[in-house]
Each structure stands twice: as structure tokens, then as C-alpha cells.
Amino acid sequence: MPAAGSAPLNPSLSDLQSARVLVVGDAMLDRYWFGAVERISPEAPVPVVRVSREEERLGGAANVAINVKTLGAQCTLLTVVGDDEPARSLRRLLEAQGITTVLGSDPKLYTIVKLRVIGRSQQLIRVDFENQPEHEVLQQMLADYERVLPDHDAVLFSDYGKGGLTHIPRMIELARAAGKPVLVDPKGSDYSRYAGATTLTPNRAELAQVVGPWRDEADLHRRAHALREELGLDGLVLTRSEEGMSLFEKTADGQPTHFQVPAQAREVFDVTGAGDTVIATLAALLACGMNLRDAVPLANRAGSIVVGKFGTASCSFEELFGKETA
């Protein structure tokens, strides 16, 4: 494993504030209903929850956008929503976060909602509202993408497999032709649709779904480099939970190389959304002109910060770099 070089110069707050990241993907609204459980329903053997409090939070690609914005960079979210009440809630929450939106509207589409009913601090049920967007709306989304792409320094695709990234091969092609770094949080077992991206950020389970289980570290390296080569990636970033993060890339003369960043020891409260923080941090740093090798340790640190918080969280500039004047 090659040793890290000299410490890179971290971006200033003003560098990040001038960086522009375009987040494209499946945005969701996370809803929580909290209440007391005091009896069983006479209609069926299920608990009755008397709801006393409701919460709404941004999820999916919208949570990734929050992470970009919290770090200090400018962010635009391009997604498709329905013409319904959840879409209006999503728009309101995004505006409150200062995130620019390009929201395609499909009247036949349910804005993705994940409703969780919680009683006695236990999640009792999750109800999902979703369907697939229409072809015409996705074509308009591609046109919107081409229109806003020149105004951004990096592109981040957040794929949750909900149909909003049907045209991702063409989107990646356009971004790379324009010289923009492209980062993908992948989904599913077919990664060929992400060919030509700068980097993908699968976790261990997601990578194993594509390359198969590995016997040992050497076997993992062989499989990861083969995938990186097959897809034409600059680098493959593997998030490994308690094992930190691995970057698989190649040297200037084309030889495969591996850079391992160990996990930072800290108490883990909640891993929810840590992957969103990692890829958002990478995108913001690449938008500032930093390379992958230098950005990965910082993204790893950002991920370790958010797992020390309860619930879906994000990492600020001050938490990652310390206080600084812009």
C-alpha cells in the first residue's frame, strides 16, 4: 500500500463557498409520526398509535444536497417530483436550506414518501409511496440537466433505483465532455450504466453484489481494480464502515494502486446517512479542484463525524476543518 504524500492544502471556506455542485437523483420526503401505544385494535391484532407529533425531513438525493450545502458549497438539486402535497413540502424544506432546485413535475407521479410510524421509541411500520416517472418527464429532466450543467463545477448522481436516473449514461457523457468530475452513489447490480464516471462510492455489500464476494484483501483488490478498469473510472472509492475507506486507482504509468484510510476512532451512535456525507464531501472537494487521493481522507473524517450524531446528519466546515475566516 503506498504511503500518503505530503499533506494537501485544505480548501478555505471561501474556496468551498465558490464551488458549485449539481446533485441529480431520487429525492424523497421522510415523514415520521410519533405517538403513544396504549391498546390493541379490536379490528386486528395490531397496536393503535395515537399520533401526537409529526416530523418531515429531506431524504435520498435531497439529503445529499443538504450535506453539500452544510459543508459550505453551493448546491443545485435536479430531480423529478409529483404535483402533490409532498412535493410542496419537499420544495419548502429545500428552500429553507438554501438549496437551488430544478424540480421536474409529473402529475402522474407520487413524490417519494417514506412514512415511519413510531410508538414507544420503536418503529412499528414503514409505508412507502412511490411509482415510476413518465418518459416525457425524464426527457425534460435531461434537457434541464444540459441547461444547468455549465454553471457547475462537479456533478453528483444519487441513485436510489426509483427511475429518476434513466438517462444517466448520457448525463455522465455530457459532464465528462465538459470536463466536470462525476461522482456516483450506485444502486443495483448493473454498474455499466455508470461507465466513464470519475468515481463510484459503493459500500461493501453493494460492491459484493457486483463483483461477488472476495476471499481476502488481495482478492478484493483484484476485483475492485478490474471493475475500475472495465468502467473507465479514475478511481473506485469503497466505504468499509469500521475498516475506513479504500481508494482503488492507477498510477501515471497505468499500474493499479491502492490507498487505505483507516476509520477514525469515535463512538458510533447512528450510521444513517453516513454514505451521503462521504460522497457529498468528495463532490464539494473535487469541485474545489482537489484530487481524489487528497479528498478521500477528508471524506472519511466527515463520515466519522456524522456517525457520532443521532439521526440523519451532516458535517459543517468548522467540524471538518476547524474555525477559519473566509
Whether pLDDT at 8 is above 90 = no
Average pLDDT over residues 271-298: 90
Tell me the pLDDT band of 268, cut-offs 50, 70 and 90: low
Q: pLDDT tens digit string along 102-121?
A: 999 999 999 999 999 999 88
Q: pLDDT tens digit string along 31-68?
A: 999 999 999 999 999 999 999 999 999 999 999 999 99
Closest Cα partner for 298 from 323, 315, 312? 315
**What is the residue-averaged pLDDT of the chain?**
91
Three cell numbers written together for 282: 468528495
**CATH fold label, 13-29+57-111+132-315:** UDP-N-acetylmuramoyl-L-alanine:D-glutamate ligase (3.40.1190)
Whether pLDDT at 295 is above 80 = yes
Decide which of 62 and 304 is more confident: 62
Q: Is 276 a catalytic residue?
A: yes
Q: What b-and-e string marks burial along 267-288, b requiring 16 or more CB atoms within 10 Å of the CB?
A: eeeeebbbbbbbbbbbbbbbbb
Decide which of 291 and 5 is more confident: 291
How many other CB atoms are found less than 10 A from the CB of residue 229? 14
Q: pLDDT tens digit string along 181-232?
A: 999 999 999 999 999 999 999 999 999 999 999 999 999 999 999 999 999 9
pLDDT at 146 (0 to 100): 97
Q: What are phi and psi of 213, to 5 degrees?
A: -70, 145
pLDDT at 322 (0 to 100): 84
Whether pLDDT at 125 is above 50 = yes
How many other CB atoms are found less than 10 A from the CB of residue 143? 11
Decide which of 266 and 286 is more confident: 286
How many other CB atoms are found less than 10 A from the CB of residue 50? 10
pLDDT at 153 (0 to 100): 98
Q: What global pTM score does this model have? A: 0.91
Helix or strand (DSSP H, E) at 174: helix 168-177
pLDDT at 42 (0 to 100): 96
What percent of the chain lies above the pLDDT cut of 90? Answer: 78
Average pLDDT over residues 237-266: 87
Decide which of 273 and 30 is more confident: 30
Residue of 106, 159, 185, 276 marked catalytic: 276
Q: pLDDT tens digit string along 138-170?
A: 999 999 999 999 999 999 999 999 999 999 999
Least confident of 22-26, 148-152, 209-213, 303-307: 303-307
Whether pLDDT at 171 is above 50 = yes
